[in-house]
A and B are shown apart, each in its own frame.
Chain A
Amino acid sequence: MSAENTDARVEARQSFYVKQQLIAAAKTTFQQLAGVIKNATVYPAAHPFLLASADQLLDRLKEFLLSRKEVAFYLVGGELFFETHSVPIDQSLSMLMEQFTARDVGGVIFKPGITCDEIVRFAYLMNKDAAYFAEQGGVVKVIAKEKMVHIDLHRVILVDKKFGAAIKEAKKKSSEIFMDAVDTVKEIVNSIHLDKAVNMKKVSAVVHGMVDDILDNRDALMGLTTIKMYDEYTFAHSVNVAVLSISQGTFLSFEKPQIAALGIAGMMHDIGKVNIPLEVINKPDKLTDEEWEQVKRHPIEGALILSDVPAMTRLAMVAAFEHHQHGDIRGYPRMDDRVQQHPFSQIIAIADAYDAIIAARVYYKVSTPPDKAIRIMLSKRGTVFNPVLLKAFVNMIGIYPVGTLLKLDSGEVGIVVHQTRDLMRPRVLLLTKFDGSEKESGTEVSLLEMEGGRYKRTIAGSIDPSTAKVDVKKYLE
Chain B
Amino acid sequence: MQENPGQPEPLSPEIQEVMRSFVSAARAVKLYPQNNPIYAQSVKKSFESLDNYLKNAIRYSIGVQKSYFLYEDIPIAKDTQLNKAIAQDLFGKGFREIIFHEGLTEEELLGFYAALSLSQEEQALRSGMVSILWEQGSTHIKITEAALEDVITTHPDMSRTGAGEKERSAVRVLPEAGQKEIRIAGRTLVLGDLIDDPGRFAANMVDIARETLGDNESIEDRLHSLYQEAGQQIQGMPQEQQEALFQGLAKSVLAMDPEHRDKFIASKLYAGMDRDQVREQREQESSAEGPSGEPFSHARIPEDLHEIITGRFSKQWTVHQIAELLKKAASKKIETPGPAVDPARIEAVPVSEDLYGIAKELAEYSPEEMETLKAISGVGMEPDIIEASVRTLIFLITLVKRPGRPAVLEKTVSRFSSVAHQLEDSLNYLLQNKDYDLATIIVRALHLPVDPLFKPRLNEAIKKASSRDIISAVVTDMRSSQKASPEYLSAYAYLQVLDQEATPVLLDILAVEKDRAIRKYLVEILKDLGKKQVSMIARHLTDGRWYVVRNIVNILGDSKSEEAIPYLERVADHKQVQIRLEVIKGLISIGGKKAAVLLTRFLKDRDADVRIAAVRAVAIVHGAGRTEAQTLTNFLMDRPVKKKENELTVEVIKALEKIGDEETAEFLKRYTRIKWWKARKPQEELRTVAVAAIENIGRRLGDVGRKY
Contacts and interface: CB of A to CB of B under 8 A. Distances in A.
Interface of A: 15-17, 20, 88, 189, 193, 230-231, 233-235, 237-238, 252-255, 257-258, 261-262, 270, 273-274, 276, 278, 281-287, 290, 294-298, 300, 303-304, 307-308, 313-315, 317-318, 321-322, 329-330, 333, 335, 339, 342-344, 353, 356-357, 359-360, 363-366, 368-369, 371, 374-376, 378-380, 388-389, 391-392, 394-395, 399, 405-407, 411, 413, 421-424, 431, 434, 459-464, 467-470
The 5 closest A-B CB pairs, nearest first, are A461-B348, A360-B302, A230-B267, A407-B348, A273-B311
B373 A284 contact: no
Given A399-B355, A423-B359, A461-B348, A363 B301 contact: no
A231 B341 CA distance: 26
Interface stretch (B23-31, B415-423, B506-514, B685-693): B415-423
A36 B395 CA distance: 63
B536 interface: no
A281 B355 CA distance: 38
A389 B313 contact: no
Contact of A423 (B265, B294, B324, B363): B363
Contacts of B348: 406-407, 460-463
Nearest to A458: B351
A365 B299 CA distance: 13
Contact of B308 (A287, A313, A374, A375): A287
B376 A343 contact: yes
Contacts of B379: 258, 342-344
B309 A234 contact: yes
Contacts of A356: 302-303, 306
Interface stretch (B10-18, B101-109, B271-279, B522-530): B271-279
Contacts of B380: 254-255, 257-258, 261-262, 315, 343-344
Contact of A254 (B324, B344, B346, B377): B377
B372 interface: yes
Contacts, number: 263
A413 B344 contact: yes
Contacts of A376: 298-299
Contacts of A330: 294, 300
A333 B373 contact: no
B395 A321 contact: yes
Contacts of B350: 460-461
Interface in B311-368: 311-314, 316-318, 320-322, 324-325, 328, 340-341, 343-344, 346-352, 355-356, 358-359, 362-363, 365
Interface in B401-434: 402, 404-405, 415, 418-419, 422
Given A282-B318, A318-B389, A321-B395, A234 B373 contact: no
B266 A233 contact: yes
A252 B377 contact: yes
B307 interface: yes
B369 A468 contact: no
B18 to A, nearest CB: 33
B370 A17 contact: yes
B422 to A, nearest CB: 5
B384 interface: yes
A424 B360 CA distance: 9
Contact of A278 (B303, B316, B388, B396): B316
Contact of B343 (A230, A317, A431): A431
B150 interface: no
Contacts of A388: 365, 369, 372-373, 376
Nearest to B359: A423
Contact of B303 (A237, A313, A353): A353
Contacts of B318: 282
Contacts of B262: 231
A315 B299 contact: no
B490 to A, nearest CB: 21
A215 to B, nearest CB: 16
Contact of B362 (A257, A394, A431): A394
Contact of A252 (B294, B362, B373): B373
B438 to A, nearest CB: 13
B459 interface: no
B324 A284 contact: yes
A347 to B, nearest CB: 9
Nearest to A375: B358
21 contacts: A17-B373, A17-B377, A231-B263, A235-B313, A258-B379, A282-B321, A295-B311, A298-B311, A303-B392, A304-B396, A314-B385, A314-B388, A318-B388, A357-B302, A359-B306, A366-B298, A391-B369, A460-B351, A461-B350, A461-B351, A464-B349
B377 A295 contact: no
A309 B275 CA distance: 36
B305 interface: yes
Nearest to A355: B306
Interface string B281-300: 01000000000101000111
Contacts of A364: 271, 274-275, 277-278, 301-302, 305
Contacts of A375: 358
A375 B275 CA distance: 22
Given A273-B311, A300-B399, A369 B389 contact: no
B81 to A, nearest CB: 19
B400 interface: yes
Given A284-B321, A307-B422, A460-B350, A318 B343 contact: no
Given A315-B385, A391-B369, A307 B419 contact: yes
A357 B269 CA distance: 21
A322 B391 CA distance: 11
Given A258-B380, A304-B419, A360 B301 contact: yes
A16 B377 contact: yes
B1 interface: no
Interface centre among B343, B392, B419 (most CB of A within 10 A): B392
A356 B302 CA distance: 6
A460 B303 CA distance: 29
B374 interface: yes
Contacts of A406: 348
A16 B306 contact: no
B327 to A, nearest CB: 9
Contact of B386 (A270, A283, A314): A314
B88 to A, nearest CB: 13
Contacts of B694: none
B216 interface: yes
B480 interface: no
B381 interface: yes
B80 interface: no
B216 A469 contact: yes
B61 to A, nearest CB: 31
B343 A315 contact: no
A366 B278 contact: yes
B310 interface: yes
Nearest to B368: A388
A308 B314 contact: no
Contacts of A15: 374, 377
A378 to B, nearest CB: 7
Contacts of A317: 389, 392-393
Nearest to B216: A469
A238 to B, nearest CB: 8
Contact of B271 (A353, A363, A389): A363
Contact of B310 (A16, A233, A255, A366): A233
A335 B262 CA distance: 38
A231 B351 contact: no
B404 A290 contact: yes
Contact of A304 (B320, B328, B415): B415
Contacts of A295: 307-308, 311
Interface centre among A193, A376, A411 (most CB of B within 10 A): A376
A285 B349 CA distance: 33
Contacts of A270: 310-311
A461 B266 CA distance: 31
A313 B308 CA distance: 26
Contacts of B312: 234, 281-282
